[in-house]
Chain A
Amino acid sequence: MSIEEIQNEIIDEFSMFEDWEERYQYMIDLGKDLPLIDDQYKTDNNIIKGCQSKVWVHAEMEDGKLIFTADSDAIITKGIIAILVRSFSNQPPKDIIHAETDFIDQIGLKEHLSPTRANGLVSMVKQLKMYAIAYQTQMK
């Protein structure tokens, strides 16, 4: 599936929820299922700055596609990064670089998009895209 298709799938899932509580509960559950980063990559170098909680992200290339794994010490943050990883992981770097993130707004998590928000969703997106740019440059 393409990034856009995955994002539409996420939008569909979230559209079933009636209130914030159901949305957050689902996000918390997604956080619990996040493909966990190998402990050896949970280093200070892999911490995303700008988050009140700690977020680690690791990226690896496999057959021209970028695989993300991540973790956080806060479960809601973990849910947010899980949504991003699901949307971006296992995709070619160039698609990740050009991917939109409007779907965050559409699934009712708009408040997390503010650049001043302490959870750093914007920093997370930036970091995932940075990985994509780095690997894309390597491929050339």
Chain B
Amino acid sequence: MPQSGLSLTAMFKVEDIRKDFPILSRKVNGKPLVYFDNAATSQTPKQVIDVMVDYYSNFNANIHRGVHTLSQEATDLYEQARYKIQEHFNAKFSHEIIFTSGTTHGINLVANGFSSLLKKGDEIIVSALEHHSNIVPWQMLCERSGALLKVIPMNQEGELVMDEFDKLLSENTKLVFVNHVSNALGTVNPIEYIIEKAHEVGAAVLIDGAQSSPHIKPDVQKLDVDFYVVSAHKMCGPTGVGMLYGKEEWLKKLPPYQGGGEMIAEVTFEKTTYADLPHKFEAGTPNIAGGIVFGAAIDYMNGIGFDTIAAYEHELLEYATEKLLQIDGLKIYGTSEHKTSVISFNLEGIHPYDVGTILDKLGIAVRTGHHCAQPIMDYYKIPGTVRASLSFYNTKAEIDTLFEGVKKAKMMLS
């Protein structure tokens, strides 16, 4: 283990960070909670919870169009959150930030919009590492438009095979959809290359950032990505809110997704004209509190700093990998050099569900199953994995607890 004098732990006091998260002090099954299901949802610090309480205590009102003070204040807070998100992802304009209910909503919004832009014979490319949310909407899009779905294959390390991607690209390629980080394995995909190559043939690119956004601060302008989608609840924020970033030119081109209030300019029974961006895509009363709190979550994470977070999590990943591999018969799936702090593993001859059940009895929260990425499990010919996903508020001591827990599970289940 790297324990040099310059170790991150010097500037990053995880014990102080942990005090921000009330849930981390609770017990599960009589044991202190060890929360390693961060890739499913992250925990919420009290600074972020406080913003939620403050909003409902002092500002709750419906936004936009209200002449009264509360409505104006709530609107300001909501739009300030949009600016924060714009700044965080470095979008050129704030109206390129669309509030959604989460990553899945963002993907569906874009997939739905492309229905009218695609024709038979067009091709869209996804990767073998996708979450079902980034597969099914495109399959539905193909059914509607007659376009063909092509898949970038993966290798044993859990990486995408870029040579194959190059071969799939053609002038028929209209869209490419890839996750920035695989939820099941933690692989960080070479999206810079994918975006560049896709643009060479004139295809648009959507990056699913659900799993990258808790660890990496993407610069959408530098990436030159067309769409980038995230969920707040993976970034210490609340559930039910997320962001779709879309380049202005694309968002103008796409038709509205849902009809309703807020998204209109003028309505008569003969014809309705739509509102400008971003409201064109934000029909109905949005998740106002969620949006504001999302902004607070981004503030919290930036307060710690994404470089610090990434470096500390990498330290945790290396420690956990080295430790778990000491267990005979334990196999890690996803062994790319480019990984976020996710360890997907199995014990030889033991079902992941059994391991997860025993770990739960020990107070350790992991996820078991196919992680909504069945194609990956099919590739490895396994029913699923046990996935421990680590966050910046986890500790090496917790990894030791996991290590002992897995050994115990192995002993009981063998």
Contact = CB atoms under 8 A, between A and B. Distances in A.
A36 B326 CA distance: 34
A52 B384 contact: yes
Contact of A28 (B383, B384, B413): B413
Contact of A53 (B29, B353, B413): B353
Given A52-B384, A73-B383, A24 B351 contact: no
Interface stretch (B6-14, B123-131, B354-362): B354-362
B125 to A, nearest CB: 31
A73 to B, nearest CB: 5
A102 interface: no
B353 A76 contact: yes
A90 interface: no
A118 B369 contact: yes
B361 A75 contact: no
Contacts of B350: 75
Nearest to A23: B361
B412 interface: yes
Interface string B350-386: 1101100110010000001100000000000001100
Contacts of B358: 24, 76
Given A20-B29, A21-B412, A75-B413, A52 B354 contact: no
Contact of B383 (A54, A75, A119): A54
A81 to B, nearest CB: 13
A21 B357 CA distance: 12
A25 interface: yes
B412 A74 contact: no
Interface string B20-50: 0000000001000000000000000000000
Most A Cβ at <10 Å: residue of B29, B353, B412:
B353
Interface string A68-89: 0000011111000000000000
B413 A52 contact: no
A53 B383 contact: yes
B369 A74 contact: no
A24 B29 contact: no
B412 A73 contact: no
B249 to A, nearest CB: 44
Given A20-B29, A52-B384, A54-B383, A75 B369 contact: no
A5 to B, nearest CB: 29
B368 A52 contact: yes
Given A20-B29, A53-B383, A73 B361 contact: no
**Nearest 7 CB-CB pairs, A to B?**
A74-B351, A74-B353, A53-B353, A52-B353, A76-B354, A74-B354, A52-B369
Given A25-B412, A73-B383, A74-B354, 9 more contacts: A24-B361, A28-B412, A52-B368, A53-B351, A53-B383, A73-B351, A74-B351, A118-B353, A119-B357
22 contacts: A20-B29, A20-B361, A21-B361, A21-B412, A24-B357, A24-B358, A28-B412, A52-B353, A53-B351, A53-B383, A54-B383, A74-B351, A74-B354, A75-B354, A76-B354, A76-B358, A76-B413, A77-B353, A77-B354, A118-B353, A118-B369, A119-B357
